[in-house]
Structure 1
């Protein structure tokens, strides 16, 4: 049973009680009758007042139907109140500026699970973007950028910077050790002897051709093809061994020569011209877009790469959060930035929100507006009727008692 029905039943009970106790005698009868009478009057008065808010009770039009007659003024007052108070930028920001947005954000991240929540929001977005990369457009953009900058000697600069590291002492030492191992491996290979034999034999034959003395010397020192090859291999092995010895003349001389060459390399016009030509030719003829697209497709279709990149992204996110938590300057900047954005948002949105509210209110007809108000406050208003009857009844009984004893005291 709703409150309106309850209030009506209470009023009916009071009216019935008043009528039934009309001819009651004695003190008890009088107090009961006056109680019911006052309760009936209070209930009727409150029913009239509450009904007058929404309509004309008993057809009386004087000072009644308050909501229908003042609908537009009430709506205008509501809009004015919302615009000047609730949506007022100064009023809103007056409270917001008292809070430290950075501290609130840190509490959310560290104590309320915000860090993991943000990761869960970002991860599917990241995966979706990664797996739906338009490889054609991206490859074309990369090719366009490379070819557009093709005349800026990118390849030349990279090669020069790479080669310049050869002049570093540690790098040079490692290279000489690698060179020594490579030479020894080549010299021990049987295929090397097969390469040397015809060359050495031809050189020896040309040397002794037409000279008996040279033939005698070759025979005297037993300079057969095999011995000559062994002598050459031993000489090369010794040279390679000296090149990896920090204190040898060969090591120092080659290092000094290499440094001189590298220092003059950037100014060597012939070298620069060769690199520029190679670079321009390579960029012009290369199918950069096709190669890039193929690589992108292969990379994005591999789930392991997605997992790997997600791990990198999560580590980068955690690192950024940890840095923010420990950086007071960044926190102050963030706090100021958030408040500026909020102020701008409120200032920009207030007229828009207010217009929405105005349009919404103006769309209500008089009946629907009354129904809307009544649906929200009807229960409380009906309690006024019930309380009015109860309070009126108690007041009537009290007045009867006072009147009853006053008459007997002064008569």
Structure 2
């Protein structure tokens, strides 16, 4: 490899200078044995250093342009890349090493620690809420609409008539809907009772009653002349009493209102023992389940919601949070409760922990085995994109020091062998 002068180059240059010096001494003292020995050592050191330089250089390029069996790595780069890929797959990411490493991991405690983090709980909640928004934004919600329609019909049909009456009474009482209804009804009736038409109606009714009781003879005219019976005053009195009663009925917590509410509730609860009412309620349930356009209504509802949500998404607004804050809060509360319940199940049930551990180990093992192939592909692609010079530099930089010592050792060993051969030849001769 081309680069600054290093110890191996210095050793080769020193061998060459030693050879030149030994050759000069041999020519100067042709009969001197020591000059001949120095020359033999210099020759061998120069040959060993040059041979090792040639061998190391031939791995990466063509030394001195020599074309035969040189530049081995660039010529065999495909085989080298394939061998490196197989080595990474089979050795570094072998099945045995993967499974041994996975078996040392305690996955369930790690999972429990992860689930205890508040960030995990919040991320899970946001993910579920995002999924709910995405479900509402889908154009084709046919399956969801069919399921909801079927469930609504089933709920209507499976509801017990007597239980339905009980629940309706309880809902009206709990939410004070019955009290509010009486307040509005009392206000409406008072307005009607105070009207002039009502006054005339009461007056006419009293007149008819008077005629039915005493007729139109002398007694009637006598009572009228003596003002014993004054229909106008009676009408005013009755109208005032009616308005006063309606005022008391419309006043929250008044005795009359409480008495009327109690009577109404008792009457409604008694309806659950009436067979005709129960039969009528059941027939109403069946007709509602069969004739109400539940599915068509849900289709229009989802379509309008989707359009509205899409407009909000363009404004980067969370539609549920902005337009239905109570529903949004309620959904998040439900998700939090279910999340805590799931976490407690994981912590308290050993059989569930075994199932989760088995699933996690299997998932990790399969993922790791898939990663084995993926890592090989990544390594192969990365090495394939390298140029010959980049690939040479990548390999050479990792073993540069060893290659330099190979070259240095070539000069040293060559010189030693040259000296031994010279001594042996002199001894034999």
TM category, shorter: 0.5 to 0.7
Question: What is the match of residue 11 of structure 1?
Answer: 12
Contact 1:165 1:171 in 2 (8 A): no
Q: Of the candidates 268, 279, 284, which is equivalent to residue 274 of structure 1?
A: 284
Q: Report how many residues are paired.
A: 387
Q: How does 1:25-174 map to 2 (within 5 A)?
A: 39-47=45-53, 49-50=55-56, 84-101=90-107, 126=130, 130=134, 133-134=137-138, 136-138=139-141, 144-145=146-147, 152=154, 154=156, 157=159, 163-168=165-170, 171=173, 174=176
Partner SS for 2:282: helix
The equivalent residue for 1:295 is: 305
Contact 1:39–1:390 under 8 Å retained in 2:
no
Residue number among 347, 354, 373 corresponding to 1:328 in the alignment:
347
Give the Cα–Cα distance (whole angstroms) in 2 for the partners of residues 354 and 238 of structure 1: 84
In the alignment, the residues of structure 2 paired with residue 60 and residue 337 of structure 1 have an alpha-carbon distance, to the nearest angstrom, of: 58
- What is the alpha-carbon distance in structure 2 between the residues aligned to residue 185 and residue 393 of structure 1? 118
How far off is 1:92 after superposition? Answer: 0.7
Contact residue 147 and residue 284 of structure 1 kept, 8 A:
yes
Q: Greater shift after overlay, 253-262 or 384-393?
A: 384-393
The offset of 1:96, in angstroms, is 1.8
Q: Distance in 2 between matches of 1:353 and 1:169?
A: 61
8 Å Cα contact 1:35/1:393 also seen in 2: no
Partners of 1:355 and 1:390 lie apart in 2 by 37
- Alignment root-mean-square deviation, CA: 6.1
Tell me whether 180-189 or 67-76 shows the greater mean CA deviation.
67-76
- Structure-2 separation of matches of 1:239 and 1:132: 46
TM normalised by structure 1 equals 0.62
SS at match of 2:137: coil
- Decide whether the 8 Å contact of 2:89 with 2:376 is kept in 1: no
Gaps in structure 1 of 5+ consecutive residues: 402-411
Matches of 1:41 and 1:317 in 2, distance apart?
Answer: 81
Per the TM alignment, residue 94 of structure 1 is displaced from its structure 2 partner at its CA by 0.6
Please give the secondary structure, in 1, of the residue aligned with 2:293. helix
- Does the 8 Å CA contact 2:43/2:418 hold for their aligned counterparts? no
Q: What is the DSSP-based 3-state SS (H/G/I as helix, E as strand, rest coil) of the residue aligned with 1:301?
A: helix
State the alpha-carbon separation in 2 of the partners of residues 169 and 360 from structure 1. 69
SS at match of 1:99: coil
**SS of aligned partner of 1:137:** coil
1:200 to 1:169, Cα distance in 2 relative to 1, 3 A: same
TM-score, length-scaled by structure 2: 0.60
Q: Is the 8 A contact 2:61 2:72 kept in 1?
A: yes
CA distance in 1, matches of 2:175, 2:78: 93
